[in-house]
Every structure is written in structure tokens, then in C-alpha cells.
């Protein structure tokens, strides 16, 4: 009895061409190579895009946090009274949860020269990943995602009546391993500078 092997024959029993018999290993390897060549750069592009988006979000929140602290500092009393005498806020606690209590802090008193590079008590607070205040002091509490420091100094040209204010917000992950020293160039870091001059009421 004669049998026909349809796997390797056409409809009339003729042998199929070798290229129609199936996919060879070489063809599979070529297809995989093309896929890797096309998808490799695409995967890199997606990774870079995701990293850039995360950095943009981090920087945006850091900017908002810096602006909030600067608003507190610029809203504090720094003026002259009706008689021309200077009136200064030297007691508001800007390290506390907002709004800052009117007592218990340093107000607009000059800060140590290193208050932007280390966690200086009285001139630093901490925020979580959503930007909520969670504490102050020399060491970050658990859950701290951002370190916010500020510096207050009299103006060189008018030390009695003018102040230079600086606010620095650093994502905690961008700090040096010891959590203190800071180079000032980390991505995601925001620094604002402003000035205040006494004005009559």
C-alpha cells in the first residue's frame, strides 16, 4: 500500500521548495537580531524618559516647598514703627508645622553661616514624599523625603535694615551618605534667594 507524506509534498505529490518547508534557525536568529536592534534603543529611550519625568516631578515639588518657606520668611515682621524704631520678628518658630507659632523659635535672627550645608537646629525642617511637614531637628525623622534648610543674614550694604534670605530644598536621596554635607549641585535640588528691607507701616 502506498502512502503519501503530505508534510513535504505539494497537492500533486511534488516536493515543496526548501524555503517553504518551515522556519530555519538562521531565520529565527535574524528576526531576533532585528527585534533587539529596534527594541534596544526604544527601551533605553523609555527608561530615560521615565527618569526625566521622575526628576521633573521631584524638582517641581521641591520648588513648591521652597516657595512655601520663603513666603513664611517674607511674611514675618521686619519693619519700622511709627516712631521710626526697628521692629523685627525674632521669635516665630519657622521649624514647626505651618502656620509658624509666634514664639519658641528664632524668627528672622541671623543663622549660622553653615545652615545651608548642614542640618542646623532652628533652620531646618523635613517633609514627606507628598510635601507634608513631618518634623525638625538635626536628624531627619522616619519618612522624610525632603530636607528644607534656610539661611538668614544681614545685607552687607545695609546690615541694620536689610536681610538676604535663602531657602534650599534637597531631596533626601540626593544628600551625601552621611546625610549632612551637600555639594549644592545635585539634580532635583532647588534654591531660592530673596531680600527684605524694613519699611514704615
What's the pLDDT at 110?
96
Are the C-beta atoms of residues 150 and 174 closer than 8 Å to each other? no
Which residues partner with 151 through β-bridges?
166
What are 169's strand-pairing partners? 148, 190
DSSP output for 6-36: TTSB-TTSPBPPGGGS---HHHHHHHHHHHH
Measured distance CA(144)–CA(129) in Å, rounded = 7
d(CA 168, CA 189): 7
Q: How many of the other CB atoms lie within 10 Å of CB of 134?
A: 17
Q: What is the pLDDT of residues 170-197, one digit of tens each?
A: 998 777 655 554 555 677 889 999 999 9
- Give the model's pLDDT for residue 4: 47
Low-confidence ranges of the chain (pLDDT < 50): 4, 6, 8-10, 181
Amino acid at each position: 500500500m502506498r502512502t503519501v507524506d503530505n508534510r513535504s509534498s505539494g497537492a500533486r505529490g511534488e516536493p515543496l521548495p526548501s524555503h517553504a518547508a518551515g522556519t530555519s534557525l538562521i531565520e529565527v536568529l535574524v528576526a531576533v537580531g532585528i527585534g533587539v536592534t529596534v527594541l534596544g534603543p526604544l527601551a533605553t529611550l523609555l527608561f530615560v524618559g521615565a527618569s526625566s519625568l521622575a526628576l521633573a516631578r521631584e524638582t517641581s515639588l521641591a520648588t513648591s516647598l521652597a516657595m512655601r518657606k520663603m513666603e513664611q520668611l517674607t511674611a514675618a515682621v521686619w519693619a519700622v514703627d511709627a516712631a521710626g524704631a526697628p521692629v523685627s520678628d525674632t521669635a516665630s518658630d519657622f521649624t514647626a508645622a505651618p502656620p509658624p507659632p509666634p514664639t519658641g523659635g528664632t524668627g528672622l535672627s541671623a543663622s549660622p553661616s553653615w545652615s545651608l550645608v548642614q542640618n542646623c537646629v532652628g533652620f531646618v525642617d523635613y517633609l514627606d514624599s507628598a510635601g507634608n511637614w513631618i518634623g525638625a531637628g538635626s536628624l531627619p525623622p522616619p519618612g522624610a523625603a525632603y530636607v528644607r534648610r534656610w539661611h538668614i543674614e544681614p545685607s552687607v550694604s545695609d546690615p541694620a535694615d536689610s536681610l538676604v534670605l535663602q531657602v534650599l530644598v534637597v531631596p533626601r536621596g540626593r544628600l551625601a551618605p552621611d546625610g549632612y554635607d551637600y555639594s549644592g549641585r545635585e539634580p532635583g535640588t532647588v534654591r531660592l534667594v530673596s531680600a527684605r528691607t524694613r519699611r514704615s507701616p
